[in-house]
Structure 1
């Protein structure tokens, strides 16, 4: 009997659990056990796992973010990530888990937390629109209602005053939804029947009452008694009706609409409020045994999202409400203060952000968080030129005892601001930083310290000293990427400001190699680099050819003596390569000795780079100390003669002996002198090339750099050194324009007179001396443009014969170089295609590609040829030539993808691991495998080969993927490389030739 009783109770318990788990039950129908079951499963299954994923994701994003202490720090590193592709998959997993929680446990206490987590994940994924929708819905759906009023015993509670609960309808499945609809329909029908019966009953009751009153009146009339008239009361004034306003709710909402009343400090009540996350102004322990609603945090993250979407007005309303409402939780209030500072920073309003940053730092719970807020406040004070306040803020950073990077950055800024605030001098600040640089613990922050010294030196007017400190920062082997960006950028700006354009262009090149394209300065720096490219190219060419020409004019014995010196220099640098780092060995390539001798700074050879030499010397000294330059110095039991004998003082260390100098052969001398212009014809050709370089330099100065003084100098040098050159008339006209712009009428008139005297029939003379001629040229250009429009209109109207006639008549009269020529050529090709068919169309397009290089029309023609299944360029009278010569297009063939590295010392095994990690992430199902090989006459070009792709389209898709994920595709390996899709046949051609010569052009034309 006892066993039977236990069995019955067990069945009843299982039935109770089963009934409580039905998703169609409303909140009121759930018992205590059902609520406990739903809350436990929602919290410790889906939501807990999703929260763990979110915490790990935030940790990954914070670790990926590298603070640049030379620029304003980010308040929230996890929101400053350039790319979240690496964590998107994990965030999607978290969203899926809480979606299951909401689906299976819609009335649990963790539903609002689940919606909050979804909004947080979408915000971190930078899907701001979806995050706003999610959080706005949750803020409305889970808005709390005023608490219940106390009800006396025997009175019925007002249902409208119950705590707010969700109005959502949760559907477990389509079948269940249909059952619920049918059940609701039956319930509604039964309710209508009950209502009809109740109304019939009330009507009959009213009829009986009226009949009773009528009989009563008759009786009273017989007795002579007058019955008083019954007055109907106004039911709208009865208490408790639905249309009566709720005084408690109105009072609360009216208080919220009055606006902010000032930021309420939580400093005094911080401990009591934060002991368990309770509400401000309430007793501690309010939410120890019951779940705390997430509504306030939902609103806070909604404000965050609105700031990211530039909806600042709505965000400010939410933040004011959270900061000023006394019922806001202390933890939410602390975050709201920080988000308010972020609100002002996003709008570039530093003066208003500083008070909130300092307030957020005061209440921050973590040391690094407090230090970060104070650090940003100090940087803002620096931007506002308030060194005293900045110094105080950085002192607060140190007092917070944060991570050492924060402390070191703060101490560097304290040294910089100390003398600016009047409590020190620049020399004292630099000496303090130099002491810090010599400390062993600061070794890895050496470049950062040198960069700070450069800032102090330049701020005190010592630009040369600042440039030297910047170069020392770049020479440091511990130079971080952020410091290198700032140092290269600053050196480039200094050189540009000093009009030293060749070094400026090189510094900008280096800047763009280490600067991400998401940096706000990237496009400005890239534009300035591009504008300096022509100037730098002309300056290098002038330096090289001028040196070669000067050496060519020397006597034969002097040229031989110079060649011997170059040979000795080569051998000395080859010897020094034994003491260089592995990355620099084997890179000697002095292709042009004259250029090496005359402009060492322009060479790519490592021995001419002072930064590389100093860095290698310092690395060597740190590891091995001060050792003499000799062979086998590490051997403990050497037996060579120099172990017991002194070295000849007359021979410098590393210098070749007399016997070695005598080893130079005639072939080596001739090889060095091969490019030297000796005969008169070669020298005349080189002078023409120099004149061309000077003319190009002047135009670049005027048109690209907009430096008229340098342009005048270049054109006048051309006129002085190369009189009578083919550029003389045009250069004089440029000088006339430049002097006119500079308002030097006398000089402008002098060049106009020279043009009229020496080139009276040229267009330059007429432009300088006849103002009406310029208007005539403009009129002619307008007439030619109108003729093109007429021809194009005829083509659009399908009058191809008329269009062809207009094109044929207009093209011969166009001057050489006119921009209308390629436009006419493209239009003529399209007309030819309509009149003569596909073959003539392809031939005309190929002729356009060959004839008009670097024009938009050439690009368009290539696109059309690819669509037609053709490629290459064809000139009249020549056979079809395919771009790349030996390479052939075969998109249906098996393809490989080649990653070609520029550095000969690239570590292919490490690069292979990086490449396969990328493929595992983005191309996991393709099962790609990479093979390291070397290509070249001396196997000097390292290559990774990815096998394999079924078609060229598949290889192109992979190539496009590498372009879309540039920040992840071998981005952190410190190597420059090129990616080429290549067919199996063309790959064999590359292996046969052991060279990539020509494939770059073929790739551009076909892929």
Structure 2
């Protein structure tokens, strides 16, 4: 018995020794086969597979739930967005946690590099770009598998692109271009490189790389999307035939319905650019099919938009505007397309019709609905500002002209004009009251559909409720500001003794409809409806009160007329510059400046206007006397000097300029300032284009300060800043300007 117990004890001790040895040999730092096998198995199934599947699922969800903007060039790869990934954030965080187990517990596992790559992908999805970059760099530096290192470099390149670090992204791209990449890495490298060039605006390169990528892609929604993008890229670079080929390939790549719909629309647009008459003739039938397909009920606005686009490209502007208007009416509650439709209408009015007033209305509406991240947004803001200024200047000129004309009428004639204006305004108010009642009736009868964008049973199928039509709203706001000005939120805002500002009415009458910034035009209030359906007249300004308020704004006195003329003079000057510089319409700037000179021959802007007339005529290739008049009447102004800035810089001219400058400077040192100033102003034209021009201009500036008053000195400084923006002397002159401004302020 004792022998049996001894044998059992020995066997147990042996098992314990073997188990202890096995556990010791399974250390994550051991290089033994048993240890590596154990850690490979555990790392793969307990961490890597779970983390990989979660990240893949998160990417699939992000792809399926993406919001495509088919009105813009779509991104080849979905840009990372920390907000859009919030629904899958728990999965990504859990994936990072599981993938991190491998470097923590399984250092000798062959899945170590793969785990770091998964962590990098997850960081990229979370837009944690600095950490993603560091992880990918670590794999490239410490990794042991070449394919894994290449995968990490592709991820690194993508992270640099998302961080807008295109220099480093290009460096990684150049390195990978010479590496033997496997098929998955080749695919991802090409797509990332194409995405990089697309974001930089290099569309031809991006399209070419995509063409090289398609052979390694499988058919499906993702590939159909890339064909759609390739077509857009070729459209951008003016190769519509290639674009059409890609749009056709969308249809054979198992696309979604939206992808096939837009591929057909884009193909029609591109056919309109190829000049293929046969295909263009088929467009009408395709449009009919698309409009009659019940599946396209919520996409009709896109069809009408495309029809308008083709008409615009064919030069049929009015017909294009008609189709664009139908597109807006068909949009219903889905306003995604609407701002781009407004933008196209605005462009037609701006570029084809030169109707800037109507263009402003549509640009305003486009800006109200367009996403701020849209590539068109910044340019739209700039153009809107220009059109706002244009309407303001035109309004000021027309309104003050009308008021000045009224001030010259005799009492009887003026009274008739005012009576007619009040009658017209009451008629318009009744029409507005009827419209208000119509809106109330619709809202009351369709109470279940009164939310924004809801379809009201009383509306026609393609009619949009007026309060959710941005053009109608913009026009309404403009009409309100025209009639009442920018009113603060307060009681009794319509009282007749309020000041109003705004633009003039369409008939250009300051009485019948609108008034300038220093006048008002009171109107009877809108009439609400009583229970019986009749109008209830609210108390408001009496007819006599309205007439008195209008009379108060007509400039009868010389002082008021002088102010009106000053506003007109300033508006003509600014309108001419806007035509010349902002709208690039020199042919319109010329008559505007000429009108300014005719009406206000003593304007202080005369030298500059002469110069701008000279430039405008030169721009359209027309001879004019304005340069000679400028040199004859204002030879010592900066504008006269600007006409001679084409003087060749030769050794002789430089030597002569130095001689001239030295002589004037000697007079300045001798305190002979008056003579020095006269000679400096005469000599500036002769040294134009030489290296001493700005130095002589500074010397003249100093002489003006010694000989003339502070106002002339400040004017001379302003001229220097304007005429020599690239001069090395500019910082010093700006210091002088600040000191002069302080001195002028103290004297006041």
Shift of 1:534: 3.8
1:783 to 691, 699, 708: 699
Question: Do the aligned partners of 2:251 and 2:263 also contact (CA within 8 Å) in 1?
Answer: yes
Secondary structure of the residue aligned to 1:814 is helix
Question: Do the aligned partners of 1:548 and 1:595 also contact (CA within 8 Å) in 2?
Answer: no
- Show the counterpart of 1:719: 597
In the TM superposition, what are the counterparts of 1:385-464 in structure 2 within 5 Å? 385-418=238-271, 420=274, 422=276, 424=278, 426=280, 428-430=282-284, 432-433=286-287, 435-437=289-291, 439-464=293-318
- Show the counterpart of 2:427: 568
- Show the counterpart of 2:660: none
Shift of 1:464: 2.8
Matched, 1:814 2:709: no
Shift of 1:678: 5.8
After superposition, give the CA deviation of every residue in 1:874-917 in whole Å (9 maximum; x if it has no partner).
x789xxxxxxxxxxxxxxxxxxxxxxxxxxxxxxxxxxxxxxxx
Note closer, same or farther for the CA distance 1:104–1:476 as it changes in structure 2 (3 Å cut). same
In the TM superposition, what are the counterparts of 1:664-813 in structure 2 within 5 Å? 665-666=542-543, 669-670=546-547, 673=550, 676-677=553-554, 679-681=556-558, 682-722=560-600, 731=609, 734-735=612-613, 738-739=616-617, 745-748=623-626, 751=629, 756=633, 773=681, 775-776=683-684, 781-783=697-699
After superposition, give the CA deviation of every residue in 1:177-226 in whole Å (9 maximum; x if it has no partner).
xxxxxxxxxxxxxxxxxxxxxxxxxxxxxxxxxxxxxxxxxxxxxxxxxx
In the TM superposition, what are the counterparts of 1:189-208 in structure 2 within 5 Å? none
In structure 2, distance between residues paired with 1:119 and 1:7? 48
Note closer, same or farther for the CA distance 1:737–1:318 as it changes in structure 2 (3 Å cut). closer
Secondary structure of the residue aligned to 1:673 is helix
Question: Do the aligned partners of 1:307 and 1:315 also contact (CA within 8 Å) in 2?
Answer: no
After superposition, give the CA deviation of every residue in 1:448-476 in whole Å (9 maximum; x if it has no partner).
22221122112222233223333443455
Question: Do the aligned partners of 2:75 and 2:198 also contact (CA within 8 Å) in 1?
Answer: no
Note closer, same or farther for the CA distance 1:599–1:547 as it changes in structure 2 (3 Å cut). farther
In structure 2, distance between residues paired with 1:543 and 1:46? 77
In structure 1, distance between residues paired with 2:509 and 2:308? 25
Note closer, same or farther for the CA distance 1:556–1:44 as it changes in structure 2 (3 Å cut). farther
Note closer, same or farther for the CA distance 1:314–1:669 as it changes in structure 2 (3 Å cut). closer
- Show the counterpart of 1:903: none
Secondary structure of the residue aligned to 1:77 is coil
In structure 1, distance between residues paired with 2:21 and 2:170? 51
In structure 1, distance between residues paired with 2:255 and 2:8? 66
Larger of the two Rg values belongs to structure: 1
Question: Do the aligned partners of 1:433 and 1:449 also contact (CA within 8 Å) in 2?
Answer: yes
1:28 to 26, 29, 32: 32
Note closer, same or farther for the CA distance 1:110–1:779 as it changes in structure 2 (3 Å cut). closer
- Show the counterpart of 2:135: 134
In the TM superposition, what are the counterparts of 1:921-960 in structure 2 within 5 Å? none
Question: Do the aligned partners of 1:698 and 1:714 also contact (CA within 8 Å) in 2?
Answer: yes
Question: Do the aligned partners of 1:50 and 1:98 also contact (CA within 8 Å) in 2?
Answer: yes
Question: Do the aligned partners of 2:418 and 2:547 also contact (CA within 8 Å) in 1?
Answer: no
- Show the counterpart of 2:76: 75
In structure 1, distance between residues paired with 2:232 and 2:131? 34
Question: Do the aligned partners of 2:579 and 2:589 also contact (CA within 8 Å) in 1?
Answer: yes
In structure 2, distance between residues paired with 1:19 and 1:717? 99
Note closer, same or farther for the CA distance 1:425–1:542 as it changes in structure 2 (3 Å cut). farther
In the TM superposition, what are the counterparts of 1:422-571 in structure 2 within 5 Å? 422=276, 424=278, 426=280, 428-430=282-284, 432-433=286-287, 435-437=289-291, 439-478=293-332, 483-498=337-352, 499-505=354-360, 507-515=362-370, 519-530=374-385, 534-549=389-404, 553=409, 555-571=414-430
In structure 2, distance between residues paired with 1:766 and 1:318? 57
In structure 2, distance between residues paired with 1:730 and 1:710? 17
Moved more, 587-596 or 114-123: 587-596
After superposition, give the CA deviation of every residue in 1:82-133 in whole Å (9 maximum; x if it has no partner).
9789699766775455334312221224312111113323444566676455
Question: Do the aligned partners of 2:611 and 2:627 also contact (CA within 8 Å) in 1?
Answer: no
Question: Do the aligned partners of 1:451 and 1:469 also contact (CA within 8 Å) in 2?
Answer: yes
Note closer, same or farther for the CA distance 1:781–1:485 as it changes in structure 2 (3 Å cut). farther
After superposition, give the CA deviation of every residue in 1:15-61 in whole Å (9 maximum; x if it has no partner).
567546644x41217447xx43x445534555456446534653565
Note closer, same or farther for the CA distance 1:697–1:332 as it changes in structure 2 (3 Å cut). closer
Shift of 1:782: 0.8
- Show the counterpart of 1:315: 173
Note closer, same or farther for the CA distance 1:386–1:725 as it changes in structure 2 (3 Å cut). closer
In structure 1, distance between residues paired with 2:503 and 2:628? 41
Paired residue total? 612
Matched, 1:103 2:104: yes
Shift of 1:441: 2.8
Note closer, same or farther for the CA distance 1:538–1:349 as it changes in structure 2 (3 Å cut). closer
Note closer, same or farther for the CA distance 1:431–1:717 as it changes in structure 2 (3 Å cut). farther
Aligned CA RMSD, in angstroms, stands at 5.4
Note closer, same or farther for the CA distance 1:314–1:688 as it changes in structure 2 (3 Å cut). closer
Shift of 1:403: 1.7
Question: Do the aligned partners of 1:303 and 1:319 also contact (CA within 8 Å) in 2?
Answer: no
2:484 to 576, 584, 591: 591
Secondary structure of the residue aligned to 1:414 is helix
Question: Do the aligned partners of 1:303 and 1:316 also contact (CA within 8 Å) in 2?
Answer: no
Of Structure 1 and Structure 2, which has the larger fraction of its residues in helix? 2
Secondary structure of the residue aligned to 1:714 is helix
In structure 1, distance between residues paired with 2:627 and 2:566? 28
1:375 to 228, 247, 253: 228
Shift of 1:339: 4.9
Segments of 5+ residues of structure 1 without an aligned counterpart are 146-292, 604-629, 633-638, 643-655, 789-805, 830-843, 852-874, 878-1007
In structure 2, distance between residues paired with 1:29 and 1:534? 80
Segments of 5+ residues of structure 2 without an aligned counterpart are 440-464, 486-499, 511-527, 645-677, 686-693, 722-732
Question: Do the aligned partners of 1:698 and 1:711 also contact (CA within 8 Å) in 2?
Answer: yes
In structure 2, distance between residues paired with 1:428 and 1:675? 64
Question: Do the aligned partners of 2:717 and 2:737 also contact (CA within 8 Å) in 1?
Answer: no
Question: Do the aligned partners of 2:82 and 2:125 also contact (CA within 8 Å) in 1?
Answer: no
After superposition, give the CA deviation of every residue in 1:935-982 in whole Å (9 maximum; x if it has no partner).
xxxxxxxxxxxxxxxxxxxxxxxxxxxxxxxxxxxxxxxxxxxxxxxx
In the TM superposition, what are the counterparts of 1:986-1005 in structure 2 within 5 Å? none
